[in-house]
């Protein structure tokens, strides 16, 4: 008979896991909707559930387009949707995946410090660091890619041990099929090897081999997947072909206060101390890997090569892992003094300090994220479009509302937030904004004809954004007001203006 | 006695064995070289065959059409001083005269096939010989040729009539002659002559060749005189030509640093393949750490590599050089003692598939390139119309001039003209103007008579929407449609109405 011994640490870890999951679900489950970009994931999962394949050839997005992407995350969502309603799965799966990050951080920190207390504190920090709650309303692919990346880094460090090489290869493949963020890991590996070389430390042969394999596989796979996008956008591919007016809001400037608020002051201080300790006092190959990882995240943020919140997410988890190293150093130092009982107080103090310093940014993040879902009035208008318009109709909405239009009304949009592979996106984005603000009918009609638009969806959000209550140019000759509630829907009567 | 007899037999057997082993080795070396050359031939001819199968003109769009047109003009009058179509001064180029020579014996179709193919194969053979002379192992040199066969720049240069293909061939030949010449007067004269031809064909190529020669001499510990002496006559002639004739020495091929110009995956014309660059870096690090004696050579390669980010001619040369480093990297990955056998297999398979990927991408690009039969037919119909300047995309300029015999307002040589920026700005603006009164001043300024619109232009300039000039020509009485078939449109500008539609 096999007996499984459950240790005290495992129970605490399980409790942290449940606490993190519970907290996330507490905020997510009562919400009726998702953030605007989440509706694409819902459509993809729905399509996979129905047909078994993702929507690579999407007839609705940009009024019809082909776009290839790594589909694993959507398959996971679709898989869960067989057990529960899709919209419920879309709330539970990302929360569950983010909660597993706690386990990844615990394992890494334990491997790094050989200290269970430090590892548990790090796990707790990683579950409640404010920035991790930024994606509450989203169905974020990072919820899967982030734990995968950190599990990969963990197996990478234990590559010498039996079975870990195989797990590493499996994780690499899963990660590649999930998201392109594997590149951050790859660059971190390179920096890690360079640092080890500079410090004249011996490189682990298996680590080098795995990194080499990852290097070639990642580049090959992504080249295969995004070849056309590379060709079309050139180096702008890095910025996902985001229209210039939007670019600054995606890739924001990094500010010191912003970092502190997102990462937490305690993790930042402890992480920086660990870096100092590793470079100048002791040597730790494992810690060097996370220093490289944090360094790359910071550099990518600095040079705006990565969206701010994603960059901060990576930076914070790495700093938390490094924090474990500092906590262990502190605990070991205390245990060597005449007052070893002080270590328990220090642990408590650290946790309290973390809570105190994180509570305000935590509440702010949660509050901001929860209000991001589209208003019910807008969804009602889109449902009206679904029930009262022909199937091939093209609906104009803001680019931010594109996914919502295709998901709820099942009609073609003019643009959504998936900008890759779209030619002249700046012009299209500009035209869409113009169509909401123009006063001159002739120009509006020309644009509406150009994009073959049938309906204009003036949502409550658009009204707020453009500060209007109706379209200026929408007179009775060319437009029919077919839906009027809080949101408005116009039908374009295809008139020609000389 | 008996023992002595046995010894003699043993020695004889050993000698025979050694001889046959050497012969076998020689045979396998030859086989490998032939295999590499076969791959090169196959790749280069595949582009041509696939274009033929698709019923497309043999040459992909671009410079080839300019070179062929000028060769045909020179065949009729070998001493032209003005490009009869472009109406710009013509500086004699040896490459055009080589094509004239071939056109005297063969049809243009055959010249289009044979010239690039032969130049490519001969360049590969000379490159192979050069590598072995520089101390690269026979096997590695042959592998370099295989890598060469998948490098985008090589494939492009030798599947069309490109000047830089000819320049590369000449350079390799000159370097080879200089290295093998041992105070032979004939080779000295020949290399001097070839250097002059090279300088007339491309001054940038000439300078790069001289630089390479100097570096090789230093690396092989030969006297630098060997490289400098043959260059003297050509430099003297060049100076004399510059002073006493219309010849103007111009260093071409420089551009600003942009990834789009460097990486073929981003659409570079003569760019590097991303994987080959990665392998080059790996190979470079290996060779740098391995070979203390040849660090000067490695450093020079690195400097040239950096220069190649800013110069297209340097990139053409470096496309050859990096193959050696790629082979070094691949050989290292293959021979290295791997701890994880599955990773070794995976990595090697990935490298192999990436090379195949690079090859297919480039071949695909060239096979799908314009012109097709429809473009050819539309331009032949333009040929029948009266004289006049044609407005089209800059990329289409050479094809327009080749098939229609009419001057294109912009082509890929226009950047040599003094008012290029002005013309470019005006045409860019013109393409976006939907009103006749705004467009007419520009049309009249450049005496544009025809507007030739291709499907690519519709997508790239107007995103498939009838806007700007496209909208104007369709809706204005001052433009008369002369041709429209399969998304290709030809319009004639006739101020004053549609008389004679």
Q: For residue A234, which residues of chain B lie inside 8 Å, CB to CB?
A: 259-260, 266-267
Q: DSSP character for B145?
A: H
Q: Is A325 found in the same domain as A452? A: no
Q: Which residues are registered as beta bridge partners of A483?
A: A489
- Is the pLDDT at B3 greater than 60, yes or no? no
What's residue A450's pLDDT?
84
Q: What are the tokens at B370?
A: 């314009």
| Among candidates B260, B340, B357 on the partner chain, residue whose Cβ is nearest the Cβ of A209 | B340
- For the CA atoms of B261, B264, B267, B268, the dihedral, rounded to the nearest 10 degrees, stands at 30
Residues from chain A that touch B368, judged by Cβ atoms under 8 A, are: none
Q: Is residue A38 part of a domain?
A: yes
- Round to whole Å and give the CA distance between B360 and A275: 46
Q: Which domain holds residue A202?
A: 8-370
Q: Provide, as residue numbers in chain B, all residues whose Cβ is less than 8 Å from the Cβ of A223.
A: 265, 274, 354, 357
Q: Cα torsion at B44, B46, B51, B54 (round to 10°)?
A: 180
CA–CA separation, A144 and A104 (whole Å): 12
Confidence of residue A358 (pLDDT cuts 50, 70, 90): confident
Residue with tokens 């150009």: A450
Where residue B257 falls among pLDDT bands split at 50, 70, 90? confident
Mean pLDDT, residues A153-163 taken together: 93
Q: Which residues contact B352 (CB under 8 A, 6 or more apart)?
A: none
Long-range contacts of B289-295 (CB under 8 A, 24+ apart): B294/B219
Q: Under a CB-based contact definition with an 8 Å cutoff, are residues A128 and A20 in contact?
A: yes
Q: Identify residues of A whose CB sits under 8 angstroms from chain B CBs.
A: 165, 169, 205-206, 209-210, 212-213, 215-217, 219-220, 223-224, 227, 230-231, 234-235, 423-424, 427, 450
Q: How many CB atoms are closer than 10 A to CB B464?
A: 14
- Kind of pairing, strands A455-458 and A394-396? parallel
What is the chain A residue with the closest CA to B365? A231
Could you give the CA distance from residue A375 to residue A396 in angstroms, rounded to a whole number?
Answer: 18
Same domain, yes or no, for A161 and A263? yes
Helical packing angle, A342-370 and A308-335, nearest 10°: 170
Nearest CA to CA, how far is B347 from chain A (Å)?
Answer: 5
Residue A245 maps to a domain: yes
Mean pLDDT over all residues of chain A? 91
**Is this structure's pTM higher than 0.95?**
no
| Cα angle for residues B446, B449, B453 (degrees, 5° grid) | 105
Closest C-alpha among B326, B325, B272 to residue B298: B325
CA distance B321 to B315: 10
Say whether both A191 and A126 belong to one domain. yes
pLDDT at B346: 93
Using pLDDT thresholds of 50, 70 and 90, give the confidence band for residue B499: very low
Residue of A62, A183, A207, A216 to mutate, testing the B interface (most B Cβ within 10 Å of its Cβ):
A216
- Is residue A352 a part of any domain in this protein? yes
Label residue B497 by pLDDT band (50, 70, 90): low
Radius of gyration of chain A (CA): 25
Output phi, psi for A456, to 5 deg.
-110, 120
Tokens linked to B176: 């080879």
- pLDDT at site B114: 94
Interchain proximity A209–B343, CB inside 8 Å: yes
Is the same domain home to A121 and A77? yes
Contact B389, B409 (CB under 8 A): yes
The answer to whether residue A103 is domain-embedded is yes
Phi, psi angles (nearest 5°) of residue A5? -95, 120
Are residue A281 and residue A132 in the same domain, yes or no? yes
pLDDT given at position A497: 61
**Does position B6 have pLDDT exceeding 80, yes or no?**
no
Last residue in a domain, options A343, A370, A397: A370
In this prediction, residues B383-402 reach a mean pLDDT of 94
Please state which CATH number belongs to domain B373-493.
Answer: 3.40.50.12610
Backbone angles phi, psi at A489, to 5 degrees: -125, 125
H runs (alpha helix) in B134-202:
138-150, 152-157, 163-180, 185-201
Total domain count, chain A = 2
- Interval A313-322: pLDDT, tens: 999 999 999 9
Quick one: pLDDT at residue B209?
A: 95
| Banded model confidence at residue A340, pLDDT cuts 50, 70, 90 | confident
pLDDT tens digits for range B351-388? 999 999 989 999 999 999 989 999 999 999 999 999 99
Q: Are A292 and A411 part of one and the same domain?
A: no
pLDDT band at B15 (very low <50, low <70, confident <90, very high): low
Q: Please provide the DSSP assignment of B292-308 as one string.
A: STTHHHHHHHHHHHHHT
Q: Quote the minimal CA–CA distance from A295 to chain B in Å.
A: 23
User: Is residue A147 domain-resident?
Assistant: yes
Rounded to 5 degrees, φ, ψ at B255 are -155, 170
**Cα distance between residue B169 and residue B123, in whole Å:** 5
Instruction: Provide mean pLDDT across the span A435-458.
Output: 90
Question: B5 pLDDT band (50/70/90 cuts)?
Answer: low
Q: Same structural domain for residues A175 and A295? A: yes
Structure-token match 């990660």, residue found: A175
> By CA distance, what is B263's nearest residue in A?
A234
Helix (H) or strand (E) holding B358: helix B341-368
Q: How far is CA A22 from CA A18, A72, A95, A99, A361, in A?
A: 6, 25, 9, 9, 19
Domain boundaries, chain B: 8-367, 373-493
3-state secondary structure of B146: helix
Rounded mean pLDDT, B213-226: 84
Contact status, residue B148 vs residue B61, Cβ threshold 8 Å: no
Query: B107 Cβ partners below 8 Å, 6+ apart?
Result: none
A342 and A465 co-located in one domain: no
Residues A235 and A339 in one domain: yes
Of A370, A403, A430, the one marking the end of a domain is A370
The reply to whether A359 and A447 lie within a common domain is: no
Nearest to A424 among B340, B361, B463 (CB): B463
**Sequence-ordered list of residues with C-beta below 8 angstroms from that of A101, at least 6 positions apart, any chain:** A126, A127, A132, A146, A147, A150, A317
Average pLDDT over residues B157-162: 95
Going by C-alpha positions, the residue among B266, B169, B271, B464 that lies closest to residue A235 is: B266
A260 and A333 assigned to the same domain = yes
Contact at CB, A206 and B275, closer than 8 angstroms: no
Considering the domain boundaries, does residue A3 fall inside one?
no
| pLDDT confidence band for A475 (50 / 70 / 90) | confident
Nearest to A234 among B260, B347, B357 (CB): B260
What's the whole-number mean pLDDT along residues B180-186? 78
A391 DSSP 8-state letter: T
Task: Return the H-helix or E-strand segment holding A413.
Answer: strand A412-413
- How far, in Å, CA of B262 to CA of B245, rounded? 36
Q: Which of A439, A441, A474 is nearest to A457 (CA)?
A: A474
pLDDT (mean) for B395-409 = 94
For chain B, which residues lie within 8 Å of any Cβ of chain A, measuring from their own Cβ? 259-260, 265-267, 274-275, 278, 333, 338-340, 342-344, 346-347, 350-351, 353-354, 357, 361, 459-460, 463, 465, 467
Q: Do B339 and A205 touch (CB under 8 A)?
A: yes
Supply angle C-alpha B101, B104, B106, rounded to 5. 105
Residues of B within 8 A of A206 (CB-CB) are: 339-340
Whole-number pLDDT of residue B500? 36
Q: What is the pLDDT of residues B108-151, one digit of tens each?
A: 999 999 999 999 999 999 999 999 998 899 999 999 999 999 99
Of A370, A395, A422, the position where a domain reaches its end is A370
Give a yes or no: residue A215 inside a domain. yes
Q: Are A235 and A355 members of one domain? A: yes
The single residue listed with the structure tokens 């000449």 is B170
- Look at residue B31 in the predicted model and tell me its pLDDT: 92
CB A227 to CB B361 under 8 A?
yes
């Amino acid at each position: 008979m096999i007996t499984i011994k459950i240790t005290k640490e495992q129970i605490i870890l399980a409790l942290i896991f449940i606490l993190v999951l519970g907290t996330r679900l507490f905020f997510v489950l009562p919400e009726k909707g998702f953030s605007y970009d989440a509706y694409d994931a819902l459509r993809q999962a729905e399509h996979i559930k129905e047909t078994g394949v993702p929507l690579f050839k999407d007839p609705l997005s940009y009024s019809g387009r082909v776009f290839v992407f790594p589909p694993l995350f959507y398959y996971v969502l679709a898989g869960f949707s067989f057990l529960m309603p899709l919209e419920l799965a879309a709330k539970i799966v990302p929360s569950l995946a983010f909660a597993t990050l706690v386990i990844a951080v615990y394992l890494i920190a334990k491997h790094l410090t050989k200290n269970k207390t430090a590892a548990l504190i790090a796990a707790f920090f990683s579950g409640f660091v404010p920035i991790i709650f930024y994606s509450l309303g989203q169905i974020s692919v990072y919820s899967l890619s982030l734990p995968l990346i950190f599990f990969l880094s963990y197996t990478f460090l234990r590559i010498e041990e039996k079975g870990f090489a195989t797990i590493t290869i499996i994780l690499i493949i899963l990660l590649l099929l999930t998201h392109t963020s594997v590149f951050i890991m790859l660059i971190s590996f390179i920096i890690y090897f360079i640092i080890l070389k500079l410090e004249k430390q011996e490189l682990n042969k298996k680590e080098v081999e795995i990194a080499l394999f990852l290097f070639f596989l990642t580049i090959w796979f992504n080249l295969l997947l995004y070849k056309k996008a590379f060709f079309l956008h050139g180096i702008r591919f890095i910025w996902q072909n985001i229209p210039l007016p939007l670019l600054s809001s995606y890739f924001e400037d990094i500010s010191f206060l912003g970092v502190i608020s997102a990462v937490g002051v305690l993790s930042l201080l402890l992480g920086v101390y660990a870096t100092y300790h590793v470079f100048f006092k002791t040597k730790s190959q494992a810690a060097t890997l996370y220093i490289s990882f944090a360094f790359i995240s910071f550099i990518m943020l600095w040079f705006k090569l990565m969206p701010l919140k994603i960059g901060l997410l990576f930076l914070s988890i790495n700093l938390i892992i490094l924090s474990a190293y500092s906590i262990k150093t502190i605990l070991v130092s205390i245990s060597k003094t005449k007052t070893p009982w002080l270590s328990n107080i220090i642990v408590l103090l650290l946790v309290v300090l973390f809570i105190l310093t994180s509570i305000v940014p935590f509440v702010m993040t949660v509050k901001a994220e929860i209000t991001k879902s589209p208003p019910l009035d807008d969804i009602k208008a889109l449902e009206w479009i679904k029930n009262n318009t022909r199937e091939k109709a093209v609906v104009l909405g803001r680019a931010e509302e594109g996914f919502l239009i295709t998901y709820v009304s099942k009609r073609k949009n003019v643009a959504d937030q998936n900008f890759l592979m779209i030619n002249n996106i700046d012009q299209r984005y500009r035209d869409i904004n113009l169509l909401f603000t123009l006063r001159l009918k002739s120009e509006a009609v020309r644009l509406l004809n150009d994009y073959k638009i049938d309906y204009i969806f003036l949502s409550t959000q658009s009204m707020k954004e453009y500060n209007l209550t109706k379209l200026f140019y929408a007179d009775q000759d060319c437009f029919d007001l077919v839906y009027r509630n809080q949101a408005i829907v116009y039908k374009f009567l295809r008139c020609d203006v000389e | 006695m008996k023992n002595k007899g046995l010894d003699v037999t043993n020695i004889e057997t050993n000698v025979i064995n050694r001889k046959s082993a050497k012969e076998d080795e020689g045979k396998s070396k030859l086989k490998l070289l032939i295999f590499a050359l076969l791959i090169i031939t196959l790749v280069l001819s595949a582009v041509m065959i696939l274009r033929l199968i698709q019923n497309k003109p043999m040459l992909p769009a671009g410079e080839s059409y300019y070179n062929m047109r000028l060769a045909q003009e020179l065949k009729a009058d070998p001493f032209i001083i003005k490009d009869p179509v472009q109406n710009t001064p013509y500086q004699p180029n040896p490459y055009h005269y080589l094509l004239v020579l071939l056109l005297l014996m063969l049809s243009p179709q055959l010249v289009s096939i044979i010239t690039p193919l032969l130049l490519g194969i001969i360049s590969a053979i000379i490159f192979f010989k050069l590598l072995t002379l520089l101390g690269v192992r026979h096997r590695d040199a042959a592998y370099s040729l295989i890598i060469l066969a998948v490098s985008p720049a090589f494939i492009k240069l030798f599947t069309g009539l490109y000047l830089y293909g000819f320049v590369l061939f000449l350079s390799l030949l000159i370097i080879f002659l200089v290295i093998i010449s041992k105070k032979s007067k004939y080779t000295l004269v020949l290399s001097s002559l070839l250097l002059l031809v090279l300088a007339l064909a491309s001054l940038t190529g000439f300078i790069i060749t001289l630089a390479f020669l100097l570096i090789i001499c230093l690396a092989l510990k030969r006297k630098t005189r060997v490289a400098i002496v043959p260059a003297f006559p050509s430099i003297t002639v060049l100076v004399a030509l510059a002073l006493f004739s219309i010849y103007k020495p111009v260093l071409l091929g420089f551009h600003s640093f942009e990834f789009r110009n460097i990486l073929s995956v981003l659409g570079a014309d003569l760019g590097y393949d991303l994987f080959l660059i990665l392998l080059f870096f790996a190979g470079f690090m290996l060779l740098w750490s391995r070979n203390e004696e040849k660090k000067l050579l490695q450093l020079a390669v690195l400097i040239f590599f950096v220069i190649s980010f800013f110069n297209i001619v340097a990139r053409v040369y470096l496309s050859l050089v990096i193959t050696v480093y790629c082979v070094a990297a691949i050989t290292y990955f293959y021979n290295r003692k791997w701890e994880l056998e599955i990773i070794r297999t995976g990595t090697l398979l990935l490298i192999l598939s990436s090379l195949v990927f690079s090859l297919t991408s480039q071949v695909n690009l060239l096979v799908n390139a314009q012109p097709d039969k429809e473009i050819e037919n539309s331009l032949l119909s333009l040929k029948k119309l009266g004289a006049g300047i044609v407005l089209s995309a800059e990329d289409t300029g050479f094809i327009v001039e080749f098939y229609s015999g009419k001057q294109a307002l912009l082509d890929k040589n226009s950047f040599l003209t003094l008012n290029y920026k002005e013309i470019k700005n005006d045409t860019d603006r013109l393409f976006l103007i939907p009103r006749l009164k705004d467009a007419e001043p520009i049309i009249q300024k450049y005496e544009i008579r025809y507007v030739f619109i291709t499907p690519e232009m519709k997508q790239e300039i107007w995103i498939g929407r009838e806007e700007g000039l496209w909208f104007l020509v369709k809706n204005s009485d001052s433009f008369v449609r002369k041709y429209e078939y399969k998304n290709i449109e030809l319009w004639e500008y006739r101020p004053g109405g549609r008389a004679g539609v």
